[in-house]
Chains A and B, each alone.
Chain A
Amino acid sequence: MELLRFATAGSVDDGKSTLIGRLLYDTKSIFEDQLEAVERTSRDRGDEHVNLALVTDGLRAEREQGITIDVAYRYFATPKRSFIIADTPGHIQYTRNMVTGASTASLALVLVDARNGIVEQSRRHAFITSLLRVPHLVVCINKMDLVDYDESVFNRIKDEFRAFAAKLDVGDLSFIPISALHGDNVVHRSQNMPWYDGTSLLHHLENVHIASDRNLQDVRFPVQYVIRPQSTAHHDYRGYAGTVAGGVLKPGDEVIVLPSGLKSTIAAIDTADGEIDEAYAPMAVTVRLTDDIDVSRGDMICRPHNQPRVSQDIEAMVCWLSEEPLRDRGMYAIKHTTRSARCQVRGLDYRIDVNTLHRDETADSLSLNEIGRVTLRATLPLFADEYRRNRTTGSFLLIDESTGATVGAGMIL
């Protein structure tokens, strides 16, 4: 059984909570005591309907204010796949939350109200999905019951969305007409829309092809931890533990270690369950080399003829996550794969308006929830790929050195 991580974006008005509630309910993933608690709270608050958002709006502040303030992770499974939903709230901190949820997602689900069509928020969601390189985007055109299940409404919204998405780098794009409230095309195909010849949302989630989303070409193995047991049984054991970030590693492969540039050969790939013939992302393994060379955390193992960029200079799209704005010439800690360094901001090329895609080249800072193209210079060379080629070796965090807070999320260009 495979695992699919997907992110949902939208506000309460789009019917997102109802949709998620229905997915969870129809796959028997909400428990009776959870449902009772939600019903009780809804009643106490005087809500007309059972508010399924309360299932995970677990924090006191969220219940008091009736809003979702943070990404909520929800879990459900069908016999075909198990799912992790990163449910990102639409109103508050939307960019920061959606970027967070999308960073680990293989699929993004965006809701559009059939009555309103494409709104500013729909464009923003499509842009963030493409920026974070989420490989699959599913647009659910919801509340079809309120437009008499009219095919022309669906087609008009679909065409408009496609036209906008063409300006972005969206991978696989699908459209599903649904009514979350009545369940049309959510779990089962709807009888109300005979003109629609696609699958239900759940069927799509269960069958969308995710195996080819990972990079299996470029071998990238950031060394995370050196295993040296120093016991009598494993006296000479020296293994490099890490999580494969790209490509397929095999014993016998010739490799090069960065930054030293020393070459060696993979002697074996170990796991606690025994040696394996191949390792690929995101497997956590231990690599042994035939030569006793100096390798430590933060080094990168790759193939001699396929290496990442080795550079202290980084061009990246950065999403700002902190109340304190990004400072030009400011120093930050940078965390990239297993490598940590410091870096200085050497320029903000432009700030992008997430709603219109307009580039403001006069901007001189990034505030909370803003996204811009930034030039950085790191104190150490980083071993990086373009984010579009590899989401692991192409991403980094910026950290405030005095508070320790995560202030920026970067995607390398």
Chain B
Amino acid sequence: MTAPQTYELSSQQALEAESIHIFREVAAEFERPVLLFSGGKDSVVMLHLASKAFWPAPIPFPVMHIDTGHNFPEVLDFRDRTVERMGLRLVVGSVEESIAKGRVKERPDGIRNPLQTVTLLESITEGGYDAVFGGARRDEEKARAKERVFSFRDEFGQWDPKNQRPELWSLYNGRHHKGEHIRVFPLSNWTELDIWSYLAAENVELPSIYFAHEREVFQRDGMWLPISEFTTPREGEEVVKLMVRYRTVGDVPITGAVESTAATFEEIITEVAATRITERGATRADDRLSEAAMEDRKRQGYF
């Protein structure tokens, strides 16, 4: 006996279908797409959706990682294993190299996250990419809440929030001239909870640091930072051993761990459903710089 057919998709199926539609649209209309893959959970979901969109054919574009040199080793390891397993071509844009070439200067505070924009734009130009998939979601940050699924970037990679193309129905306008490109956000309508529910339902592998583990950490600016080659406690910063996990994965020096015992997808979903602080607010120093930190970075061509 089968249940009566209601011809209604679940919320998760509807989001998946919308994202797959976007991937296929880009593959059909652009010459050189590339997918930004950091090993973070959102980019893992993007890659999973891309592989579904073109099955049984392989993903018809390469993936790109903008490597700050300040990554969690677990995440780099995961990146390399994933690329190998899926038979992808990986392009790495290195912030380290941009610094060495003198394209960008190391900041006094040593934070490399804002420097990524230069490397990202150079890598896009060098590769001749005309569509760049990013994993940004509208629920995560208010400048992002206003960005289109197909987001036009001029020859300098700039985003002009006041001059965006209206986006109607499921008709996406990818028109651009040579040298300009389109950022494409297939996860625009997904929430953090949608991401976790989907990862659990599809049983997708993630870097281990997303799950609770014991780690030596110390507190700085209200964030739990790990002992690592990039972060060492200053005088007066006490090192403690805690059960923690990461809600987002960015650069080691600016990504805080959250205290948690959630070691499985189910436990994480319960935790995310109950949390009262946004994932960026909880864990990202880069977004605390100013109220418009994200908008300013996005205008210059950031992710």
Chain A residues in the interface with B (C-beta under 8 A): 1-3, 28, 31-34, 37, 41, 55-61, 63, 69-75, 77, 81-82, 84, 96, 99-100, 103-104, 210-211, 214, 216, 224-225, 227-231, 233-234, 237, 241-243, 248, 270-273, 278, 280, 282-284, 286, 297, 321, 333, 335-336, 338, 391-392, 395-397, 399, 404-406, 409
Query: B28, A58: Cβ atoms under 8 Å?
Result: no
Query: A31, B173: Cβ atoms under 8 Å?
Result: no
Query: B11, A271: Cβ atoms under 8 Å?
Result: no
* Interface residue total, chain B, C-beta cutoff 8 A: 65
B contact residues around A243 at 8 Å (CB): 17, 20-21, 170
Chain B residues in the interface with A (C-beta under 8 A): 5-18, 20-21, 24-25, 27-28, 51-58, 138-139, 141-146, 152, 161-162, 164-171, 173, 175-177, 188-189, 191, 193-194, 275-278, 281-282, 291-292, 295
- Most chain A CB within a 10 A radius of its CB, from B10, B12, B139: B139
Complex A-B, nearest 5 residue pairs according to Cβ-Cβ distance, in ascending order? A58-B142, A404-B175, A33-B281, A272-B52, A272-B55
Query: A392, B170: Cβ atoms under 8 Å?
Result: yes
CA distance A71 to B166 in the complex (A): 9
Q: Report the minimal beta-carbon distance from A227 to chain B, rounded to whole angstroms.
A: 5
A contact residues around B7 at 8 Å (CB): 211, 214, 216, 248, 280
CA distance A84 to B18 in the complex (A): 13
Query: B165, A405: Cβ atoms under 8 Å?
Result: yes
Query: A41, B56: Cβ atoms under 8 Å?
Result: no
B contact residues around A234 at 8 Å (CB): 56-57
Query: B173, A33: Cβ atoms under 8 Å?
Result: no
Which residue in A58, A214, A241 is a CB contact (below 8 Å) of B53?
A241
* Interface of chain B, main secondary structure: loop
Q: Report the minimal beta-carbon distance from B35 to chain A, rounded to whole angstroms.
A: 16
Query: A58, B141: Cβ atoms under 8 Å?
Result: yes
CA distance A109 to B175 in the complex (A): 33
Query: B17, A396: Cβ atoms under 8 Å?
Result: no
For the complex with contacts A2-B11, A72-B146, A227-B57, 16 further pairs of A-B residues with Cβ separation under 8 Å are A1-B11, A33-B282, A58-B146, A61-B162, A63-B291, A63-B292, A211-B7, A227-B54, A241-B24, A248-B7, A271-B55, A272-B52, A272-B53, A284-B53, A333-B175, A397-B171
Given contacts A72-B146, A284-B24, contact A278 B5 (CB under 8 A): yes
Q: Report the minimal beta-carbon distance from B248 to chain A, rounded to whole angstroms.
A: 14
Query: A41, B170: Cβ atoms under 8 Å?
Result: no
CA distance A397 to B164 in the complex (A): 15
CA distance A59 to B276 in the complex (A): 23
- Most chain B CB within a 10 A radius of its CB, from A3, A214, A228: A3
Q: Report the minimal beta-carbon distance from B116 to chain A, rounded to whole angstroms.
A: 21
CA distance A71 to B188 in the complex (A): 14
CA distance A210 to B14 in the complex (A): 14
Nearest B-chain residue to A31, judged by Cβ: B278
Query: B145, A284: Cβ atoms under 8 Å?
Result: no
Nearest B-chain residue to A298, judged by Cβ: B28
13 A-B contacts (beta carbon < 8 Å):
A58-B146, A59-B162, A60-B292, A77-B193, A84-B189, A104-B168, A225-B28, A241-B24, A270-B55, A336-B171, A338-B28, A405-B165, A406-B166
Which residue in A31, A100, A225, A333 is a CB contact (below 8 Å) of B168?
A100
Q: Report the minimal beta-carbon distance from A38 to chain B, rounded to whole angstroms.
A: 10
CA distance A214 to B8 in the complex (A): 9
CA distance A395 to B5 in the complex (A): 28
CA distance A336 to B16 in the complex (A): 22
Query: A404, B166: Cβ atoms under 8 Å?
Result: no
Query: B168, A397: Cβ atoms under 8 Å?
Result: yes
CA distance A82 to B14 in the complex (A): 11
- Most chain A CB within a 10 A radius of its CB, from B24, B162, B164: B24
Query: B24, A242: Cβ atoms under 8 Å?
Result: yes
Q: Report the minimal beta-carbon distance from B70 to chain A, rounded to whole angstroms.
A: 24
Which residue in B8, B138, B139, B281 is a CB contact (below 8 Å) of A2?
B8
Query: A31, B277: Cβ atoms under 8 Å?
Result: yes
CA distance A367 to B52 in the complex (A): 43
B contact residues around A103 at 8 Å (CB): 168-169
Query: A69, B162: Cβ atoms under 8 Å?
Result: yes
A contact residues around B6 at 8 Å (CB): 211
A contact residues around B275 at 8 Å (CB): 31
Which residue in B8, B9, B25, B193 is a CB contact (below 8 Å) of A224?
B25
CA distance A338 to B7 in the complex (A): 23
Q: Report the minimal beta-carbon distance from B172 to chain A, rounded to whole angstroms.
A: 8
Q: Report the minimal beta-carbon distance from B12 to chain A, rounded to whole angstroms.
A: 8
CA distance A10 to B134 in the complex (A): 32
B contact residues around A41 at 8 Å (CB): 291
Given contacts A3-B11, A58-B141, A100-B168, contact A224 B21 (CB under 8 A): yes
CA distance A155 to B191 in the complex (A): 39
Query: A225, B27: Cβ atoms under 8 Å?
Result: yes
CA distance A224 to B29 in the complex (A): 10
Query: A211, B170: Cβ atoms under 8 Å?
Result: no
Given contacts A70-B146, A335-B171, contact A75 B11 (CB under 8 A): no
A contact residues around B13 at 8 Å (CB): 283
Nearest A-chain residue to B193, judged by Cβ: A77
CA distance A286 to B208 in the complex (A): 34
CA distance A140 to B28 in the complex (A): 43
Query: B57, A228: Cβ atoms under 8 Å?
Result: yes
CA distance A225 to B193 in the complex (A): 30
A contact residues around B24 at 8 Å (CB): 224-225, 241-242, 284
B contact residues around A74 at 8 Å (CB): 145
Given contacts A58-B145, A73-B138, A74-B145, contact A283 B170 (CB under 8 A): no
B contact residues around A397 at 8 Å (CB): 168, 171, 173
Which residue in B52, B53, B143, B166 is a CB contact (below 8 Å) of A96?
B166
Which residue in A2, A59, A241, A270 is a CB contact (below 8 Å) of B146?
A59
